[in-house]
Amino acid sequence: MFNRIYQLGITVGLMVSTAMAQQSAWQEVNQAYKTGMELYEKGKYAAAAKYFDKVEDIRIKSTLQQDEHEELSLLKENARFYQAICALELEESDAENQFLRYIKDYPASANSKAAYFQVGRSYFAKKDYEHALEWFNKLDSRNLAGRESREFRYKQGYSFFMTDDYASAKPLFEQLKDEGGIYQEASIYYYAYLCYLDREFKTALTEFEKLKGSKTYEATYPYYITALYYLDNRYDDVLAYALPILENTKQAHETDMFRIVAATYFAKNDFKKAQEYYDKFQAADQGKTQNNQDSYQIGYIAYKNGDYETAIAELQKLEEPDAYYQSAMIALGDAFLKTGDKQSAR
């Protein structure tokens, strides 16, 4: 009788000891995961990875309740996901393969969809837009929500833009420009620019004008507004808008703005001011982008001012017949006559 009681006591003791050991291991898993996440949130990826590894390594026998088993499985699954992210942030060579293995092992997991985004985001940060798109294009933005959805669509759109796939980029920027958030201003800019390239000038102007006051794009958007006013024959608006900007700010497209202001004065028959700004344009351009319109107008101004040598030099730059060619040749011929060069005038 005593032996049976003794044996029963040993059995119960072992069961209690095993249960306590399992409980201790369970607590250890939870604590390791919690610590890993805290370190991850602080950007301490190397330290966080060690705790996620620990979650993976701890083994618990099958004495847990079903709900505990499910929670444990989820913890280990999440630990695998964050291990891969840490590897990605640390630029480890097998980071991409870790994500691929995770996606293969947990295809139905919401994290599998996020994995495509995480890898794409990493390539995006390295300005490797082609590889970023390989991952972004595997993900439907409807699988993301809120801030993540906006970030995904912007970075996918920008990657399309940087790889010259403007047709794919444009609708993404069009969505984002009206949604608010940190990507709104950039989306307005790129959408406006793509509308400008597509000759949708009214839409482009409407969008660029929304950027007035922007510090981010203050050195670039004024050129497009100036150009769009000019294309719409709004010459007074060109001068009222562009002149103060050229006087008070440094523009990325300053040379082109000088050209537009000069052409605007030419259209208004103010040849003195036109020459002033064409002089600024030529000094900055150094012949790199001067076109037939520029050469004709610069030459014609010189011709009207009696500077026939300059007129000849500029008008001779016109090579292929276009809208300016015939008028240029008439002025050129007369300039030759005025300088006594009858042979060239023929």
Look up the pTM and report it. Answer: 0.80
pLDDT level of residue 345 (50, 70, 90 thresholds):
low
Least confident of 60-64, 119-123, 178-182, 306-310: 60-64
Which position has the higher pLDDT, 246 or 12? 246
What integer pLDDT is reported at residue 9 of this predicted model? 44
pLDDT tens for each residue of 57-98: 776 554 545 555 677 778 888 899 999 999 988 989 888 899
What integer pLDDT is reported at residue 293 of this predicted model? 93
Which position has the higher pLDDT, 61 or 284? 284
Q: Secondary structure of the chain in the HEC alphabet?
A: CHHHHHHHHHHHHHHHHHHHHHHHHHHHHHHHHHHHHHHHHCCCHHHHHHHHHHHHHCCCCCCCCHHHHHHHHHHHHHHHHHHHHHHHHCCCCCHHHHHHHHHHHCCCCHHHHHHHHHHHHHHHHCCCHHHHHHHHCCCCHHHCCHHHHHHHHHHHHHHHHHCCCHHHHHHHHHHHCCCCCCCHHHHHHHHHHHHHHCCCHHHHHHHHHCCCCCCCCCCCHHHHHHHHHHHCCCHHHHHHHHHHHHHHCCCCCHHHHHHHHHHHHHHCCCHHHHHHHHHHHHHHHCCCCCCHHHHHHHHHHHHHCCCHHHHHHHHCCCCCCCCCHHHHHHHHHHHHHHCCCHHHHC
What integer pLDDT is reported at residue 346 of this predicted model? 58
pLDDT level of residue 8 (50, 70, 90 thresholds):
very low
Which position has the higher pLDDT, 342 or 246? 246
